[in-house]
Chain A
Amino acid sequence: GNSVTQMEGPVTLSEEAFLTINCTYTATGYPSLFWYVQYPGEGLQLLLKATKADDKGSNKGFEATYRKETTSFHLEKGSVQVSDSAVYFCAPLEGGSEKLVFGKGTKLTVNP
């Protein structure tokens, strides 16, 4: 089955700093890959996704590229804002499965 390893948090940045949150996965096949975000007091919501090698998912200034050779899906943003403060979860989904596997989450705090 799938497993996922995320960068340990918490991560604290100043506004406009560059963000990278690392994510690597193990899977028996070629999973689809997701980043979900959880804002304070809310449930998770989909941030971005990619389905095959070299696909780049993007949303709200965040990007992640599906790297099959390194089994990674690192999340990046060039200039973070205070409103990006949240917990970010990497999640692979193996083909044919209904069940996402979530990483432990990385808490990001952005200070003004």
Chain B
Amino acid sequence: NAGVTQTPKFRILKIGQSMTLQCAQDMNHNYMYWYRQDPGMGLKLIYYSVGAGITDKGEVPNGYNVSRSTTEDFPLRLELAAPSQTSVYFCASSYFRDTYNSPLHFGNGTRLTVT
């Protein structure tokens, strides 16, 4: 019963490098989300997806890209890492659009440092 799995758990990048944060869920959830959590701040929505092949921007999409080729996977791509992208990244999923009756399930996060 894995739930939402994020890899890697930690990563240090140099400015200008690129990387992909992986997220996979095994609950057959339609909705998936990427959030970032900066110190002392709430979570900010980066991108979300309502199903395979469909993605949309959240509050802070600049500098990121996503794809959703399967129901299970929702990778987040950083093309040119910048220090402002130093953060903890959380992937989440839910089954229904109605998040009240279908609460978000979160992964354990990826801590990214860009230096």
Contact = CB atoms under 8 A, between A and B. Distances in A.
B92 A43 contact: yes
Nearest to B44: A102
A51 interface: yes
B45 A89 contact: no
Given A93-B100, A99-B45, A99-B58, A44 B90 contact: yes
B45 to A, nearest CB: 6
Contact-size category for B? 20 to 34
B108 A43 contact: yes
Given A102-B43, A105-B42, A46 B104 contact: yes
A32 B48 CA distance: 20
Contact of A103 (B31, B42, B103, B107): B42
Given A43-B90, A44-B90, A98 B31 contact: yes
A69 interface: no
A104 B40 contact: yes
Interface residues of A, number: 23
A100 B90 CA distance: 14
B14 interface: no
A51 B100 contact: yes
B28 interface: no
B48 A45 contact: no
A112 to B, nearest CB: 26
A77 interface: no
A28 B17 CA distance: 41
Contacts of A44: 43, 90, 92, 104, 106
A43 B35 CA distance: 11
A41 interface: yes
* Residue in A34, A43, A46, A93 with the greatest tally of chain B CB atoms within 10 Å: A43
Nearest to A47: B103
Interface of A: 4, 6, 32, 34, 36, 41-46, 49, 51, 89, 93, 98-105
